Structure 1
Amino acid sequence: MRWTLKTKPPKEKVEKLAKELQIEETLASILCQRNIETFEDAKKFFRPNLKDIHDPFLMKDMDKAVQRIEKAIENEENILIYGDYDVDGTTAVSLVASYLKTIYPNIATYIPDRYDEGYGISHTGIDFAFDNDFSLIIALDCGIKAIEKVAYASEKNIDFIICDHHKPGAEIPKAVAVLNPKRVDCSYPFDELCGCGVGFKLIQALGSKRGQNIDYFIPYLDLVATAIAADIVPIVGENRILSYFGLQVINSNPRNGIKALIHQIKKKELTITDVVFIIAPRINAAGRIKHGNYAVELLTEMDFDSAVEFAKAIEVFNSDRKDLDKKITVEALSQIMENDEENKFSTVVFQEDWHKGVIGIVASRLTETYYRPTLVFTKSGEKLAASARSVKDFDVYEALEECTEFIEQFGGHKYAAGLTLLPENYENFKNKFEEVVAKSIDKELLTPEILIDAEIELSEITPKFFRILQQMAPFGPQNMRPVFKSTGVRDNGYGKKVGSDETHLKLNLFQGDNQKTYNAIGFGLGNKIDIVEDEFDIVYSLDENEWNGYKSVQLLLRDLK
């Protein structure tokens, strides 16, 4: 691990903010690092307000989208809500469909089959719309590159409204409206919305025509917060406000589907991390193992008992997903070792019987192991399909753009992408991708980095200090949980390896002459037990541990040296 201490902000700024907020300079420094430099900035950050949500009509084409939907309602047209099969897509479809059904009955939903149709808008989906007399399709979390598909729908007299947040290509589809804050010609003030977030702006715009203000839409924010968490978008600006209030809905009065999932896992209060690791994988499991429709049915179900039945089915899918993910990861790791590919700059593996629904998770696992840009391929019909994952600060999307001569289709983000290619192009692609990564990646990026917010003494960790840190939540990209470094700490002698396979490390730490001890847990750090026999340095974040109803602050160790 590379330990990198963030640059300290100017001292006078830190002192001024510490004085204004009456907090320790360490906390003021962390806030300044996050561009929170004045009392007013801090007020907006610590007290998110729904009044700061932007006017949806600032988004290009929003007026056209609203006009077309209003026209469809007036003419009693059938409207199809179409979305991708992952969490962002299924929550977006559930959100827009459930709102539209409150004002108009002729609404249906469509999630493409991951295996038969693949990602995004499909000819099959458009044919379904034509055969069932749908004249308007609202596409969510997909469509920004569906130029040919939108043209195909047009020939069948089907209009499209596209709500997407993926990076647009040089050409925009000729839809009635294309809502995407990443459009070069869109001046919307915040361009990091997820797909469900763009869907939320659409229903907010429709509601404003009906005298429904932002408070009316609070019950929909459980879906938006779930999508924000799952899609790993920056939790700043509008996303911070939406996720902050969305988490409140999840913990106080969620829709039946989310309530049923929480009921399954029996957890009292969920953080954004719980949404990422507990709620999102279960919603995703439906599309990975069976069909994304299960997720939409769960999230739109009005009857709690029925929602519980859907949640039980999804729990089984999630269990199957875990088994597949473990099995394929083992096979992929042995393939890398057999082919003696541990020392390459990229990882590209392929096996034709790997389950397409979990290759993205496997790519993430391999990235954790070897820490380099990774692609996992499987057979999909006559082609090969892959999921790509990257390491911090390396743009895998740009790398794929340099390999387009061997790619049939691709799309995605800086750190995650998907692609298809013809089997005969696999070896050429693999060699080209390795060549592109080798020449363009900063070799330092191949060692995982821990960014440290501040170096502190353990004695600085007071109840007030921890309370203020907790108020910085929800955490996520661009507002990560603060990470600290403390030097010259010791274990009190009771440190031990824990867990069924002894892979974790449990310590009681103190520093210098201060005999107060701090509980610490290091997941996956069991192999570093020898280090703790003498003085050592630690990098960690702070977390709350609850045991037998008693809450205490614990150090969540990230690394020790």
Structure 2
Amino acid sequence: MRWTLKPKPETDKVKQLQEALNVDELVSVLLVHRGIETYDKAKQFFRPSLSDLHNPFLMKDMDIAVNRIEAAIQQNENILVYGDYDVDGTTSVALLSSYLKTRTDKVATYIPDRYEEGYGISYKGIDFAEDNGFTLIVALDCGIKAIDKVNYARKKDIDFIICDHHRPAENIPDAIAVLDPKREDCNYPFKELCGCGVGFKLVQALALNEGKKTDDLVHYLDLVATAIAADIVPITGENRVLAYFGLQVINEAPRTGIKTLIAQVKKKELTITDVVFIIAPRINAAGRMKHGNHAVTLLNEEDEALAETYASEIETFNTDRRDADKQITEEALKQIEAQEEQERFTTVVYHENWHKGVIGIVASRLIETYYRPTLVFTKSGDMLSASARSVSGFDVYNALEACSEFIEQFGGHKYAAGLTLKEENYQSFKDKFEAVVKDTIDTNLLTPEVKVDSKIDLSNIDNRLWRILRQFAPFGPGNMTPVFMTENLFDTGYGKCVGEDNKHLRITVTQKVTNAKFVCIGFGLGDKLDLISNKKTFTAVYSIDENEWQGNISLQLKLRDIKI
């Protein structure tokens, strides 16, 4: 890994904040690194408030969207809440539909079939709306590029409101309202909402319009926090507030569907990371292996017995997803190893029988091994369909845009995208994608980077520091878990490999300048055992964590990497 030690911030800024907050210099440095330089910003950071959320009517077209929905409610129109089949889409649909059902019984939901209809708004979905008398469709987490589909619906006298967070193309659909903070003509102060976040802003606007307060909507935030975690958007600004209160709901009073998912893993208190690895994959598994409708049904179910049944079905889908993911990853790795040995700047693999529902996960797995912008293709009808994933710092969306001559359709954002192309264009696309990445990527980005917040001694680590660091949560892009570097470490003599295939490293370290000792766990670092054996001196980068064993709680270090 590449270790990058962040430059120490300006001394005056650090000192002023340190005095204002009465904290150690280390804490002040960590805050200034995050752009928090004043007492007021620190207060906002450590004590998020719903009052920090922006007025939803600052978003372009929000007033139009609210007026159209209010008119539909007053006129007893049938409203179809339409969303993508992933976590962001299904939570968005559950959020808006459950709110609208408190106002009208003329509400239904629609999730496109991943395999028959593909991503986003489909002609089949619009035909379904026409056949069943829907005159208004509210699309969530999709639609920003659906110009032809919206025109098709207009000819059938069906209005569209689009709530999306993906990058628009040059032209936007001719819908009644298009809510997307990434629109160039939208001056909304926070641009990084997920799709469910945009849906929540619409619900917030509707609620304010009927005289309610944002505080009345807190029970919807378990859905928003789940989407924020799953979509890996920056946990800064509004997202931090929404995730902070959403996690409280998840841990204290989650909706019945989420409660049943948590019960299956028997974990006491969930962090954002737990949401990413426990709740999100299960919700996603429905759309990957069966149909996204299963996820929406679970998330909106209030009867506990029924919710437990639905959660059990989804757990089966998740088990199937894991099996498919493992098998396809192994096949993809063999395919890469069999290719001619030459330096490549991308990883592009294809097999016609790979399960379309898991190719995105497989792309992420391949990056763990080869760390290149990655595309995994499979056959989808008479086309090839792919999921793209990128390495930190490289915009794969821009790279795909440069290859658009060979692509039929694509969408997404900086680090994740989806696309379709004709089979005869596969090799041409693959060659062009390789050339584009080779010409535009900084080669340093092809080595995983660990960003180090500060160099410290073990003596700096105590329970007081840990209590403050815990308040930095929720962690995520824009506010990552603090990472530290310590030099002159050595193992006390009990270091060993643990876990399946001895993949992980467990050591107890001390430092020549202090008597402090800490147990360390290094996931995936089992091959580093030789570096620390026989009390060799080494340097480590790590985060601070808490370990509970047989009722005893102690601080431990979570190793990221080790170097002599």
TM-score where L is the length of structure 2: 0.99
Name the CA shift for 1:270/1:153 in 2 (closer, same or farther; >3 Å): same
Superposed, 1:41-56 pairs within 5 Å as 41-56=41-56
After superposition, give the CA deviation of every residue in 1:299-323 in whole Å (9 maximum; x if it has no partner).
0001011111111111111111011
Among 532, 535, 548, which residue is 2:550 paired with? 548
Cα pair 1:489 1:536 within 8 Å, conserved: yes
Query: Over the residues paired in the alignment, what is the CA RMSD in angstroms?
Result: 0.7
Alignment of 1:85-484 (within 5 A): 85-340=85-340, 343-484=343-484
Please list the CA deviations of residues 334-360 of structure 1 after superposition, one character each: whole Å capped at 9, or x if unmatched. 001111356311011000000000000
Contact 2:77–2:106 (CA under 8 A) maintained in structure 1 = yes
- Distance in 2 separating the partners of 1:544 and 1:459: 17
Query: Structure 1, residues 415-451: CA drift from partner, whole Å, max 9, x if none?
Result: 1000000000000000010011111111111111111
Tell me if the contact between 1:454 and 1:484 (Cα under 8 Å) persists in the aligned partners: yes
Counterpart of 1:541, as a letter, is: S
d(CA) in 1 for partners of 2:57, 2:400: 34
Amino acid aligned to 1:377: F
Q: Which amino acid aligns with 1:306?
A: L
Note the alpha carbon deviations across 1:73-118, whole angstroms, 9 max, x for none.
1111100000000000000000000000011100000000000000
Q: Number of residues paired by the alignment?
A: 561
Shift of 1:56: 0.7
SS of structure 1 residue aligned to 2:487: strand
The letter for the 2-side match of 1:538 is A
Q: CA deviation at 1:150?
A: 0.2
Letter in 1 for 2:557: L
Larger displacement relative to structure 2 (492-501 or 513-522)? 513-522
Counterpart-to-counterpart distance in 1, 2:496 and 2:66: 61
Judge conservation of contact 1:336–1:342 (CA < 8 Å) in 2: no
3-state SS in 2 of match to 1:377: strand
Q: Which runs of 5+ in 1 are unaligned?
A: none
Paired with 1:296 and 1:260, the residues of 2 have a C-alpha distance of 14
Residue identity in the other structure for 2:84: D
Looking at structure 2, the residues matched to 261 and 461 of structure 1 have their Cα atoms a distance apart, in angstroms, of 35
Q: For 2:553 and 2:276, locate their aligned partners in 1 and report how far apart those are by CA, in whole Å.
A: 23
- C-alpha deviations, 1:202-223, integer Å up to 9, x for none? 0111111221101100000000
Q: Please say if residues 374 and 388 of structure 1, whose CA atoms lie closer than 8 Å, have aligned partners that are also in contact.
A: yes
SS at match of 1:250: helix
Structure 2: how far apart are the matches of 1:304 and 1:352? 41
Shift of residue 42, structure 1, vs aligned partner:
0.3
- Asked if the contact 2:458/2:516 (under 8 Å) is kept, the reply is no
Change (3 A) 1:270 1:224: same
Partner amino acid for 1:163?
A: C
The CA deviation string for residues 508-551 of structure 1, in whole angstroms up to 9 with x for no partner, is 01001423210100000000000002000000001111111221
The question of 1:75 aligning with 2:72 is answered: no
Q: Which runs of 4+ in 1 moved over 4 A?
A: none
Percent identity (aligned): 65
Matches within 5 A, 1:509-524: 509-524=509-524
Distance, in Å, in 1 between the alignment partners of 2:199 and 2:443 is 40
Task: List per-residue Cα deviations over 1:251-288 (Å, max 9, x = no partner).
Answer: 00000000000111110100010001111000000000
Q: 1:196 to 1:235 in 2, by over 3 A?
A: same
Structure 1 counterpart of 2:247, one-letter code = L
Show CA shifts across 1:116-144 (max 9, x none). 00000000000000000100000000000
- Counterpart Cα distance in 2 of 1:445 and 1:61: 39
SS in 2 for 1:501: helix
Q: Is the Cα–Cα contact under 8 Å of residues 342 and 370 in structure 1 kept in the other structure?
A: no
SS of match in other structure, 1:102: coil
- Report the Cα offset of residue 167 of structure 1: 0.4
TM-score relative to the length of structure 1: 0.99
Equivalent-residue separation in structure 1 for 2:126 and 2:545 (angstroms): 48
**AA in 2 matched with 1:551:** I
1:448-493, Cα deviation, whole Å (9 max, x unpaired): 1111000000110011111101100000000000000000101100
Query: How far apart, CA to CA, are the structure 2 residues paired with 1:439 and 1:163?
Result: 35
**SS of residue paired to 2:405:** helix
